[in-house]
Amino acid sequence: MDQDELFVDGMKPVKAKKASKPRVPRAPKPKPPVELAIPEPVPGISKWLVLGLDPSLSRTGYSLMLVERDGEGTKAKWLEVGSLKPDDTGDLAWVRSRAISLALRGILNKTIRDHELQYDAAHTGLIISYEQPTPGNDFLSTINRILNLTFFEMESEVHMFAQVRVQSTNAATLRSLMGLTQKGAKNKKENVSKAYTFLDQGRYPNLDSDACDSILMSMMARYSAAILMGRPQNVPDRFLTALCNATVEVVGKGRNAHTRIKGILHRPEYWSLYQRKAVVVSLRDARTKKAKLDRLTFTI
């Protein structure tokens, strides 16, 4: 009889079960490298002024940084960091937003003069970086619109720069890139700690939870500036991927389906160029019978 056969209570011999081999977990397949579409350097620009903002109706954080070429790399210098708070929270939202915007424009204009950036404006760009509002956040959308309106009025000094860009990053992307994981009250403390990894705490000891978020927004623009000056090798990999990811994805369904590139610098809703232009508005006067419309031209 085969040694693997056994009698059980006089029944026919049955095969003894062999011990199963332990399963060896399969190694995960390596992910293919992400294809990047790195924008070409902007000709003639050797430095970028960055304005990072964390807009809010209660307190708005701001930070200003100058990013310059430095040999084969770049160097960055913090110029101003702080926050603004309207005294009367009972004012209408648009009134508070307008007041904050005017104060920020004043700070921006003063910083330009204090650091004499007007003398090299032909070789300097400006990036305004803030949080991308979620579709349901009406307050943040309102503030951002009024900020843009105020910054780009004739009284602003942004028009002197060789190029002006507006960059926005949604909160989830920012938290992921910065490695932020805490929620609730711990989130603010974590954000301050993260901001101080980029900022000298001895020089800026009084960093609040709104100003710290503006630091993170400035850092997003700081990496964009490095790319635009032809120094993508100096940008950490995860940020370079988020900014220049060339993957094409399909969003929407049916007639609304369309393709888009994932990289922030290739998405017009996240990365836009501001240029003064003539905008024509057609006027129909209800008191006249003429079919021809009057046209009004505004420079915006």
Per-residue pLDDT of 178-205, as tens digits, reads 999 999 889 999 999 999 999 999 999 9
Question: What is the mean pLDDT of the segment spanning 201-221?
Answer: 96
The pLDDT tens digits of the residues spanning 31-44 come to 788 999 999 999 99
CATH architecture group of domain 47-275: 2-Layer Sandwich (3.30)
- What lies within 8 Å, CB to CB, of 76 at 6+ separation is 65, 66, 67, 68, 222
SS3 of 3, please?
Answer: coil
Flag whether pLDDT at 15 surpasses 80.
Answer: no
| Crossing angle of helices 138-151 and 93-114, rounded to 10° | 40
Rounded to the nearest integer, the mean pLDDT of the chain is: 91
Alpha-helical segments (H) within the chain: 93-114, 138-151, 171-178, 185-195, 211-228, 237-244
Shortest CA distance to 178 belongs to which of 166, 164, 163, 195?
A: 195
pLDDT at 226: 98
Task: Give yes or no for a contact between 209 and 190, defined as CB atoms under 8 angstroms apart.
Answer: no
Read off the pLDDT of each residue in 220-238 and give the average, rounded to a whole number: 97
pLDDT at 96 over 80: yes
Residue 204: other Cβ atoms inside 10 A = 18
Spatial CA neighbour of 55 closest among 152, 165, 129: 129
For residue 262, the model assigns a pLDDT of 94
Tell whether pTM > 0.85: yes
Delimit the domains of the chain by residue range.
47-275
Most confidently modeled of 55-59, 66-70, 133-137, 273-277? 66-70
pLDDT at 14: 56
Q: 68: phi > 0 → left, psi -120 to 50 → alpha, else beta; which?
A: beta
Between 73-87, 162-176, 210-224, 281-295, the lowest mean confidence (pLDDT) is in: 281-295
Section 128-132 average pLDDT? 95
3-state secondary structure of 270: coil
Least confident of 15-19, 71-75, 100-104, 170-174: 15-19
Q: Are 129 and 220 in contact (CB under 8 A)?
A: yes
**C-beta separation of 247 from 238 below 8 A:** no
